[in-house]
Amino acid sequence: MDSLDLQVLQQAREWKRAGYGVWLVTVIETWGSAPRPPGALLALRDDGLVVGSVSGGCVEDDLIDRVRHGERVGVPSLVTYGVTKEEAARFGLPCGGNLRLVQEPLGDPAWIDEVLARTARHELVARRLELATGVVTVEAASRGESFAFDGASLRALFGPRWRLLIVGAGQLSRAVAQMALMLDFEVIVCDPREEYHLSWDVPHSTFSRAMPDDLVLELQLDPHCAVVAVTHDPKLDDMVLLEALKSPAFYVGALGSRGNTAKRKQRLRDFDLSDAEIDRLHGPIGLDLGSKTPAEIAVSIMAEIVAVRNGVALAQKKAGSAVPAAPAAGTACPVR
């Protein structure tokens, strides 16, 4: 499934090839409580149609109004909103927030073709725009990078900066995978059982029939990876946990009750895991939302993963759950 930014690029390309004038607008800097982060992208058509977002809506309205009144930006230009409290209120920027944008005309969209093709192959790429010339280049990027602007050029990332390994390919896994894809995770599902391989049908996910512990070693998990084990089969779940808990993955969780989690942790102690490694296990998995259905449980799991990724304390947990200490926000894993 395409991320929102990739959808913006895809629509911008279609508009351009249909003969419309198109401008890309990128958030490069914010102050205060601006609604959208650096890197947020919008495409604007010459008749006022837009896709994407750079604010809560009022900035978009102003950009549309400028185009409809004949403004045609010919070179990359800086635009600032919310310098005064009055202007911040006018453009829906709360608490005196400020927003700085780059608006650029879309020329040859060939670079969009490259971005879409490479991200479809699960590559993480960066698009670099030189403001002085309007030249765009596409280059490889790494998971540790983030959006950057130095006054002369901007560098925006596209593609999955986060990976989720799901062990087990049942109904719950299908719901988790679909939600993770919407959240811009690269999703890898592992299940060596033949009957599950034949019925897996989630587009844009990768299916592996390898043994889970072997796959973890092959993937070389890094701090931008999460692992969830949801097979209910200790022979599979425990195997992946043995390797995942020793990895730098920012989240490792397993499905099961508090009683089963305690038994699982005791089994893991019989192997070569330290107490600190075992204590990294999230269990029972997910936040306490009163979930009953697979879709609701998937929401609770993905909510917990996002909270851990963002360094947020897991207050919404059942009493007695195994909850690793949350890192300070912004220190564990840089968020796109």
pLDDT tens digits, 160-172: 778 999 999 999 9
Q: Measure the N-to-C terminal CA separation of the chain; round to a whole number of Å.
A: 17
What integer best gives the mean pLDDT of the chain? 87
CA–CA gap between residue 230 and residue 22 (Å, rounded): 45
Put residue 32 in one of left, alpha, beta given phi > 0 → left and psi -120 to 50 → alpha: left
Nearest one of 267, 227, 264, 228 to 247, comparing CA atoms: 227
Q: What pLDDT is attached to residue 254?
A: 93
Class of residue 333 by CB neighbours under 10 A (exposed 0-12, middle 13-18, buried 19+): buried
Q: State whether residue 135 is helix, strand or coil.
A: coil
Percent of the chain with pLDDT over 70: 89
Q: Give whole-number Cα distances, 75 to 161, 174, 250, in Å.
A: 30, 45, 41
Query: In this structure, what token pair is assigned to residue 228?
Result: 């969830």
Q: What pLDDT is attached to residue 32?
A: 60
**Does 38 sit behind a cis peptide bond, omega within 30 degrees of 0 on the bond before it?**
no
Q: What pLDDT is attached to residue 322?
A: 72
pLDDT in tens, 191-231: 998 877 777 889 989 999 999 999 999 998 888 899 999 98
Percent of the chain with pLDDT over 90: 53
Residue 85 confidence class, pLDDT cut points 50, 70, 90: low
Q: What pLDDT is attached to residue 144?
A: 75
Query: In this structure, what token pair is assigned to residue 18?
Result: 């249909």
Domains of the chain are 4-158 (no CATH), 162-309 (3.40.50.720)
Q: State whether residue 19 is helix, strand or coil.
A: coil
CA–CA gap between residue 212 and residue 224 (Å, rounded): 18
